[in-house]
Amino acid sequence: MEWLTHSQTGIRQAARYLLGMRLAIMAIQLVALAIVETMITLAYEAEALLLCLGYGVFATLGWLWFTRRPPASSLAVSAGLLADIILIGGWLFLTGGYTNPLVSLLLLPIAVAIILVPLRQSIAITASGIAAYAALVLWHTPIPHGQHNNNLAQLHLFGMWATFTLTAAILLLVVGTLARQLRSQQLQLSQFRENRLRDEQIIALGLSAAAVGHRLGTPLNTMTLLLDEIRSETGRNGPTADAGALQKDLDTLEQQIRLCSQHLQQLTRAAVEARSARQETLTVESWLLRLRESATLLWPSGPIHWQQPFPKVPVAVDATLDQAVLNLLANALTASPAWVGVAARTGAPGRIEIVVEDHGEGLEAALEGAPGEEIVDSGNGLGVGLFLSNATIQRLGGTLRARADENGTTMVIDLPEANSNGDSG
């Protein structure tokens, strides 16, 4: 737990624990003096009261110092805990020394030191506490004996109960809070590891795609040259009966080669935009209309029904998010060639939902748990597309949910609205 006081922020956090501990100790000291006053007479009751009030002043000043101008070192925290032992020991010296049942209050600064400061400093504070207890055995102001023996016995038992209660409460406050912080940090580390593994898979896929794209450039150029030679050879041989049909085949082949080249260029542009992390802020309506144009070019006869009107709230998008939605549309068209629906609606406050529906059987393997959390087996590659789509949506602060039933599959993309500065909320 040494990290708590290794920075000014950690010292500010420690200030709350120290203030709570010191005020609780001061309160129990005041209560103990009030109870003792009704039963016996202490030789240095006034001095003990003044020392108790001085301890409260020390607690307040320490809290103000640590919160307003916190030092950069944990030595200040250790010095404060050492002062706690001295002040508590002085109060115990005036109220019976080691015979005072509240002598266990010396354990509280030691317990907090073990949690808040480095090991060497906590060892020094522990040794100081033991030394203070030993000094109280040798030197202290004894409580008067005589007719008050029964009262002293009752006070001792009550003091033991009060000390145990206070110690348990402070340990619950400090150790319980730190335990919750540890659990929260462990959860964040677990999520970080999962995100890192997912990003490593994405990088591997991206490198593979880049390598394939680079390798495809050469055969496409070769096919383009061969296509030109075939056209030239056909023109030199003159018109034949099959020339018309061959020309149509060559036109189709040229169209497909051009389409492959366009896809490679699009892959290159998307990689450059993803590397530069360029985002733009559009209304959901404008963004979905742009996606509709892209989908129409990719699937001219695709039965995609864009269910307008779309919300006009702003959303931060980039080229990778466009491709993620197009991947989901490709999955939906593969599963349901007859009908695919796209809609948009406002979700929770500050969120927008894009809904892609189809009437097919869906990707059952991908929909077990959260869709796209891992690559699934798919003969036509849809599992990889779903994995990449989910990763892109999560990178932009969104989530991907899915529901499959007898009517088909529904994919819901939940995205944050963009604020006035163009950042995602």
Residues 84 and 142 in one domain: yes
Pairing state between β 399-405 and 408-416? antiparallel
CATH number at residue 357: 3.30.565.10
Of 235, 250, 276, the residue at which a domain comes to its end is 276
Residues 63 and 6 in one domain: yes
Give residue 256's pLDDT. 79
Residues 136 and 254 in one domain: no
51-83 residue pLDDT tens = 999 999 999 998 888 888 877 778 888 899 999
Residues 216 and 299 in one domain: no
Length of the chain measured in residues: 425
365-388 residue pLDDT tens = 445 445 555 544 444 444 566 777
Residues 129 and 208 in one domain: no
Give residue 222's pLDDT. 78
SS3 state at 361: coil
Of 230, 260, 276, the residue at which a domain comes to its end is 276
Residues 294 and 372 in one domain: yes
Q: How confident is the model at residue 87 (pLDDT cuts 50, 70, 90)?
A: very high
Residues 149 and 8 in one domain: yes
User: Is residue 183 included in any domain, yes or no?
Assistant: yes
Q: Which amino acid is at 339?
A: W
Give residue 124's pLDDT. 93
Two tokens, residue 268: 């290159």
Residues 230 and 179 in one domain: no
The predicted model gives 143-163 an average pLDDT of 67
Give residue 208's pLDDT. 62
Task: State how far the Cα of 199 lies from the Cα of 395, in Å rounded to an integer.
Answer: 10
Residues 16 and 105 in one domain: yes
Tokens 């950042």 locate to 423
User: Is residue 424 included in any domain, yes or no?
Assistant: no
To the nearest whole number, what is the mean pLDDT of the chain? 78
Residues 218 and 322 in one domain: no
User: Is residue 422 included in any domain, yes or no?
Assistant: no
Domain count of the chain?
3
Separation in Å, CA 368 to CA 196, 237, 364? 22, 61, 7
Of 229, 248, 276, the residue at which a domain comes to its end is 276
Distance between alpha carbon 27 and the CA centroid of its chain, in Å?
Answer: 39
301-348 residue pLDDT tens = 889 999 988 998 999 887 778 888 888 888 888 888 889 999 999 888
The torsion defined by the Cα of 305, 308, 314 and 319, in degrees rounded to 10, comes to 20
User: Is residue 425 included in any domain, yes or no?
Assistant: no
User: Is residue 312 included in any domain, yes or no?
Assistant: yes
pLDDT greater than 80 at residue 240 = no
- Domain membership of residue 244 as a residue range: 203-276
Residues 114 and 217 in one domain: no
User: Is residue 70 included in any domain, yes or no?
Assistant: yes
User: Is residue 366 included in any domain, yes or no?
Assistant: yes
Query: Measuring CA to CA, which residue among 87, 80, 82 is closest to residue 15?
Result: 80
Buried b (16+ CB within 10 A) or exposed e, 369-404: eebbbbbbebeeebbbbbbbbbbbbbbbebbbebeb
pLDDT greater than 80 at residue 220 = no
Residues 22 and 164 in one domain: yes
User: Is residue 198 included in any domain, yes or no?
Assistant: no
CA angle 190, 192, 193 (to 5 degrees): 65
Q: How confident is the model at residue 85 (pLDDT cuts 50, 70, 90)?
A: very high
